[in-house]
């Protein structure tokens, strides 16, 4: 079974009103915040091997050719799921790249050849139920996906839902004002922080952390809880969780052997 370890969550499409203005890669200013797509696949029984082959040999190489670098593929490990749930993370430099990718895959001869068996699957024997997808805009203080150094074996995916847009923006502000910096200092290594612009359970922010193993994860969270700067930040009344966060989803995922993150 081709996997390492990662966290997971369920996400679906929604309004695109808050997407950044369309720009070409050539026109994009330096440091522009990426769009990040997180796809969720609930596999059918006994389809994991076929799906791994499709992702590794067809989809990821094609996405790389189209400019989407550092594509991550993860399998949900906690809570456990059988058949497995896969998460595919695709970063885009701008909205134009994101909107054009599907059409370009249809005209990519190398992709069509490599994906031929996957694309020929009959409706009576599908590989997965359906694809659910959420789109995020990277945070101002972390504008791009940051692949971690080494080969982390565990990832922590966390989703913070808020009761309205103002509360959601306040939580994003809290991260930008210092929480992300504290994360980095205590060993909670971020891969991305994103504000949902399309998907389910909006408004929400979602982020992904990388760890070498579970001990590193629990140690880092312990350091974070005792950090004096974190205690000061969370003591600010407008940043109290009960005021700005309605629900937190916490999942652990493992990367596949061919994941680029």
15 pLDDT exceeds 90? no
The structural domains of the chain, ordered by start, are 5-17+31-255 (3.30.70.100)
Quick one: pLDDT at residue 79? 80
149 pLDDT exceeds 80? yes
24 pLDDT exceeds 60? no
71-112: pLDDT as tens digits? 999 999 988 778 899 999 999 999 999 999 999 999 999 999
Quick one: pLDDT at residue 31? 61
Mean pLDDT throughout 18-30? 40
pTM: 0.87
25 pLDDT exceeds 80? no
Full 3-state SS string of the chain: CCCCEECCCCCCCCCCCCCCCCCCCCCCCCCCCCEEEEEEEEECCCCHHHHHHHHHHHHHHHHHHCCCCCCEEEEEEECCCCCCEEEEEEEECCHHHHHHHHHHHHCCHHHHHHCHHHHCCCCCCCCEEEEEEEEEEEECCECCCCCCCCCCCEEEEEEEECCCHHHHHHHHHHHHHHHHHHHHHHCCEEEEEEEEEECCCCCEEEEEEEECCHHHHHHHHHHHHHCHHHHHHHCCHHHCHHHHCCEEEEEEEEECCCCCC
């Amino acid at each position: 079974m081709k996997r390492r370890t990662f966290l997971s969550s369920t996400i679906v499409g929604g309004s695109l009103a808050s997407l950044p203005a369309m720009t070409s890669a050539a026109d994009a200013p330096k440091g522009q915040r990426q769009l990040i797509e997180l796809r969720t696949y609930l596999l059918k029984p006994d389809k994991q091997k076929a799906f791994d082959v499709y992702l590794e040999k067809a989809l990821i190489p094609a996405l790389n050719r189209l400019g989407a670098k550092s594509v991550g593929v993860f399998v949900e490990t906690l809570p456990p799921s059988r058949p497995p749930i896969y998460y595919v993370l695709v970063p885009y430099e701008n909205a134009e790249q994101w909107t054009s990718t599907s059409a370009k895959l249809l005209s990519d001869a190398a992709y069509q050849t490599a994906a031929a068996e996957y694309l020929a699957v009959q409706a009576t024997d599908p590989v997965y139920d359906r694809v659910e997808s959420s789109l995020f805009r990277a945070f101002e203080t972390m504008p791009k996906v940051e692949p971690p150094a080494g080969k982390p074996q565990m990832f922590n995916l966390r989703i913070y839902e808020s009761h309205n847009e103002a509360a959601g923006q306040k939580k994003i502000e809290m991260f930008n004002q210092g929480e992300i910096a504290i994360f980095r200092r205590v060993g909670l290594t971020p891969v991305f922080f994103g504000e949902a612009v399309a998907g389910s359970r909006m408004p929400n922010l979602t982020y992904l952390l990388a760890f070498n193993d579970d001990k590193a994860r629990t140690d880092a969270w312990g350091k974070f809880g005792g950090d004096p700067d974190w205690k000061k930040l969370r003591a600010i009344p407008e940043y109290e969780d009960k005021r700005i966060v309605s629900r937190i989803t916490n999942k652990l995922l493992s990367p596949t052997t061919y994941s680029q993150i």
